[in-house]
Amino acid sequence: MRVTTAFNRLLCLDGVNVTDVVFGVSAITVVVALRRRRLHCPHCGHCTRFRYDTRSCPSTWRHLDLGVWRVQVKASLRRLSCPTHGVVVEAVPFARPGAHLTRDFDDLLAWLATRMDKTSIARLCRVSWRTVGRSCARVVATELDPGRLDGLFRIGVDEISWRKHHKYLTLVVDHDRGVVIWGAQGRDAKTLDEFFDELGEARSAQIQAVSLDLGPAYLKSVRAEGHAPQAIVCADPFHVVKLVGDALDEVRRDLWQQLRRLPDDRWAKDFKGSRWALLKNPEDLTDTQTVQLARIRANRGGIWRAYEMKEQFRAIFAGDLTRDEAAALLDRWCARAQRSRLAPFVKAAKTMRQRRDLILNAVEHGISNGRVEGLNTKVRLIVRRAYGFHTADAALALVMLGAGPIDLRLPHEHEPATKAA
């Protein structure tokens, strides 16, 4: 068997024939020729038989490694005159437009990026982390289904930090399918306006329910004319409960600072490390945290009242309550928080009263951004991995790959028909 024939079968590149193989010191260069005679525009797919000219310098793409050898694919490409995009280099069937990596190598990097840290990928595949980010963006641009925005009835809108110093992404989740369907940089009303502009008035009118955080920005966008004013808006229980947890933690920090200033440091030592004993659910406490919580209960005071209010608030979302039952519990809780003389809880109660209808809608309809099992956790793990990316587009591409409606396959998982030589 000739070497060119062997590499034709080994590489399984679409639409090309291997014409030469050159072995270097650490890389193998595979020279290929396109089978098709027609030229295709990489941007719009315009097809023609007439070439403008042939590039004097051949193009090169990185392909999947062969053992310890790097594999480079080289081809001489023609240029065509596209009525829309002018003179452009023809598209190749084995690589995405504008890429210097083959489609198989792009898919491999994107798949690994959703499962491994950046250092491991860079070492395994011998590429930079920026290259991984560009691969993810290319894969999402070509594989993301434009019909993903059809048939939306219940959605969730959430913000997530993709990098330090207040850099945020706005994500839209389809509750019925359990996937992230849209995202953009920013976390204000204008950012969500972009989603509704892309969705269009006809599809926006089909939305029945939207879950949001407690901020006013997203609510303003949802209720704007031409968006989804008809939708039932629900406050996301995760953010509501977190607001109460943050109030408890603020009370804890104030008490900790007071104890540290006492002449006798015994009280501060006993209270040290109590954060998770107070914030965690009782059924999730360790033995040490259970003892610590019992010590706090024995001492009573404002911190114990704050803990009791946190647990009472959890009951609103913990059971199968009717709207009226939840309303009664919420009103009693707000009244107690207002009388507590604990400033963080007084502030939280004010917010609860302002968003009372949204909270009760969430209880009645059972809609939450965390309803889709593990989605929030999954997105946060992905975003934590994306801290190595330098652009929001790359981070968003990684989120869409890991939690979006993309069926990303490894090269060997493609249908045999699509991999035929």
351, 357, 358, 363: CA torsion to nearest 10: 110
Residue among 185, 316, 172 at smallest CA distance from 244: 316
Is residue 12's pLDDT more than 90? no
Numbered ranges of CATH 3.30.420.10 in the chain: 101-236+368-413
Is residue 222's pLDDT more than 90? yes
Is 3.30.420.10 the CATH number for 101-236+368-413? Answer: yes
E strand or H helix at 203, and its extent? helix 201-204
Joined together, the tokens standing for residue 375 give 């989605």
Q: What is the pLDDT of residue 417?
A: 42
CA–CA separation, 402 and 382 (whole Å): 7
Tokens 């050159």 belong to: 22
Q: Where are the beta strands (DSSP E) in 223-312?
A: 232-235
Report phi then psi at 147, rounded to 5.
-85, 10
Q: What does the DSSP assignment read for 338-395?
A: HHS--HHHHHHHHHHHHTHHHHHHHHHHT--TT-STTHHHHHHHHHHHGGG-SSHHHH
Q: CA–CA distance from 399 to each of 130, 377, 389 (Å)? A: 16, 12, 12
Which residue did the predictor score with more confidence, 310 or 403? 310
Tokens 């309809």 belong to: 365
Q: Which three-class secondary structure state does DSSP give residue 250?
A: helix
Is residue 267 very low, low, confident or very high in pLDDT (cuts 50, 70, 90)? confident
Is residue 375's pLDDT more than 80? no
Rg of the chain taking only CA atoms, in angstroms: 28
Alpha carbon 271 to chain centroid, angstroms: 37
Residue among 106, 93, 105 at smallest CA distance from 45: 93
Residue among 76, 1, 89 at smallest CA distance from 33: 76
Please check whether residue 173 is in contact with residue 199, taking contact to mean a CB–CB distance below 8 angstroms: no
Is residue 229 very low, low, confident or very high in pLDDT (cuts 50, 70, 90)? very high
Q: CA–CA distance from 334 to each of 82, 246, 281 (Å)? A: 66, 16, 21
CA–CA separation, 11 and 9 (whole Å): 6
Sign of CA dihedral 239, 240, 242, 243: positive
Residue among 354, 370, 366 at smallest CA distance from 323: 366
Q: What is the pLDDT of residue 370?
A: 61
Is residue 301's pLDDT more than 90? no
Residue among 63, 50, 13 at smallest CA distance from 35: 13
Joined together, the tokens standing for residue 145 give 């289904």
Helices and strands (H, E) in the chain, number of each type: 17, 14
DSSP state of 147: G
Quick one: average pLDDT of 299-311?
91
Beta-bridge partner residues of 54: 78
pLDDT tens digits for range 141-163? 888 888 899 999 999 998 888 87
Quick one: average pLDDT of 25-38?
93
CA–CA separation, 76 and 97 (whole Å): 15
Beta-bridge partner residues of 40: 47
Q: What is the pLDDT of residue 369?
A: 65
CA–CA separation, 61 and 63 (whole Å): 6
Q: Where are the beta strands (DSSP E) in 131-178?
A: 154-163, 167-174
CA angle 192, 159, 275 (to 5 degrees): 155
Alpha helices (H) in 12-128, listed in sequence order: 103-113, 118-125
Quick one: average pLDDT of 391-415?
85
Please check whether residue 110 is in contact with residue 135, taking contact to mean a CB–CB distance below 8 angstroms: yes
Q: CA–CA distance from 270 to each of 46, 171, 249, 292, 421 (Å)? A: 74, 42, 17, 8, 72
pLDDT tens digits for range 64-80? 999 899 999 999 999 99
Largest CA distance in the chain: 90
CA–CA separation, 80 and 83 (whole Å): 10
